[in-house]
Amino acid sequence: MAVFEITNTTDDEMYYPLGIFQTLDDAKKELAKFDDAKEAVADGSDEHEEITVFKREFGWTEHGTVALKIDREMYQEEKDGDWFWRTIAD
């Protein structure tokens, strides 16, 4: 049995857990709410954020295994100048 933890991995030296979900699909559904959003997944992200979903087994598991990794950046629309977050890699 495992859980899936959404983690802010933008900073190589410090990771911030953001949420724990029962399935990878549940974690993906929550992350999809931020597609082309005006807010970051993680508080305090400036222009770039890296979000990783780790699969964590119960018991001693170290860091778990990477189930999904998403890179996002702030993007400005040319048409109206609005800023929003967009996924650049997953």
The string of DSSP letters for 5-68 reads EEEE--STT--EEEEEESSHHHHHHHHHTTTT-SS-SSTT--SEEEEEEEEEESSS-TT-EEEE
**pLDDT confidence tier of residue 90, bands split at 50, 70 and 90:** low
Reference 28, options 67, 85, 71; nearest CA is 67
Q: Is pLDDT above 70 for 41? A: yes
The string of pLDDT tens digits covering residues 43-67 is: 777 788 999 999 999 888 777 899 9
Q: How many CA atoms lie within 13 A of 1 on its CB side?
A: 4
Residue-range definition of the domain harbouring residue 16? 2-89
pTM here is 0.85
| Number of structural domains the chain divides into | 1
